Amino acid sequence: MSARTVLSSEDIDRAVTRIAHEILEANTAVQKSSAQKNGTKDLIILGIPTRGVLLAERIAAVIAKAEPNADISNILGRLDITMYRDDLAANPTRAVTETQIPKQGIDDKVVVLVDDVLFSGRTIRAALDALGEYGRPRAVKLAVLVDRGHRELPIRADFVGKNLPTAREERINVNLSETDSQNAVVIES
């Protein structure tokens, strides 16, 4: 099995920074009032466990630097999708983690789901199903570090760190320092 690094630690940092600023710009652009536009107004960022949560935290940290008045605890959360997956029969040992929705909820908010890799689209479909249990957002956006193609469902990301066309049999490993020994995105074939 061969492996090659396609994103270094610096590449990941740049991608996260770019995604965070794109989220702020997009959220500012859709605000109806032209007075005092705020990139975090009505914004909720929900990471999908495991690495999506870590990436969401990194995105929120960049947003906190760009918008010093933003209360990140009112923006950042996590969405467990385990019980909404369509592959539970094939992998019943998945651990259920806690969903944490910011206290103001998601009703009429712009929710950005964050995940590490977009592949078939089935994880995001499960996330959309899970999200419905918590309210009705005004809009749902998707931010991913890597989009590798091979969609099975009509889902696309709004914010992408890197498009990496892959062969179906290749595997993308996102390593983040919080859970792994390094920051890197590696393709194994």
Going from N- to C-terminal start, the domains of the chain cover 6-24+42-188
Quickly count: other Cβ atoms within 10 Å of residue 36's Cβ.
7
Rg of the Cα trace of the chain?
Answer: 16
150 vs 167: CA distance, rounded Å: 9
Domain 6-24+42-188 has CATH 3.30.530.20: no
Amino acid of residue 3: A
Which backbone phi and psi does 36 adopt, to 5 degrees? Answer: 50, 55
Per-residue pLDDT of the chain (189 residues), as tens digits, is 899 999 999 999 999 999 999 999 999 987 765 555 688 999 999 999 999 999 999 999 999 999 999 999 999 999 999 999 887 777 766 788 999 999 999 999 999 999 999 999 999 999 999 999 999 999 999 999 999 999 999 999 999 999 999 999 999 999 999 999 999 999 999
Amino acid of residue 113: L
Helix (H/G/I), strand (E/B), else coil: 12: helix
- CA-angle at 124, arms to 118 and 128, nearest 5°: 160
Chain-centre distance for alpha carbon 125: 13
The HSE-up count of residue 76 (CA atoms within 13 Å, CB side) is 18
- CA-angle at 34, arms to 28 and 36, nearest 5°: 75
Taken in order 171, 172, 178, 180, the sign of the CA dihedral is positive
Helix 9-29 crosses helix 51-66 at what angle (to 10 degrees)? Answer: 60
Closest CA to 143 of 80, 66, 60: 60
pTM summary value = 0.94
